[in-house]
């Protein structure tokens, strides 16, 4: 699976988070699961005249997510939630 993030060129450890109208750079940013949804986001930012100026600092980072391991639900939830699940 491929995901995309927008990173600051000036501070490569920071990634974009937020909406087309309001966004900021943080350590854990927003991800897009397709280039189409990322393109739609960027197009919405371009249409917002006030936010258009910060595009020059953006770069797109593409990540490939590779499954590392698999767990059943009962291995992840707390014992209390497991009991609740079993009582169902």
pTM for this entry: 0.75
Each residue of 64-83: b (16+ CB within 10 Å) or e?
Answer: eeeeeeeeeeeeeeeeeeee
Task: Say how far apart CA 6 and CA 73 lie, in whole Å.
Answer: 32
* pLDDT by position in tens, the chain (length 88): 999 999 999 999 999 998 887 888 999 999 999 999 999 999 988 887 776 667 889 999 999 999 999 998 778 888 888 888 788 6
Domain that holds residue 19: 2-87
Task: Say how far apart CA 46 and CA 72 lie, in whole Å.
Answer: 43
Q: What is the pLDDT of residue 72?
A: 86
Task: Say how far apart CA 49 and CA 81 lie, in whole Å.
Answer: 48
Indicate the number of domains in the chain: 1
Q: What is the pLDDT of residue 48?
A: 78
């Amino acid at each position: 699976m491929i995901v995309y993030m927008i990173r600051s060129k000036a501070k490569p450890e920071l990634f974009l988070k937020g909406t087309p109208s309001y966004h900021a750079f943080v350590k854990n940013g927003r991800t897009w699961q397709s280039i189409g949804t990322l393109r739609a986001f960027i197009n919405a930012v371009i249409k917002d005249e006030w936010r258009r100026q910060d595009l020059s600092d953006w770069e797109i980072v593409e990540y490939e997510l590779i499954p590392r391991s698999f767990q059943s639900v009962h291995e992840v939830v707390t014992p209390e939630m497991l009991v609740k699940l079993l009582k169902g």
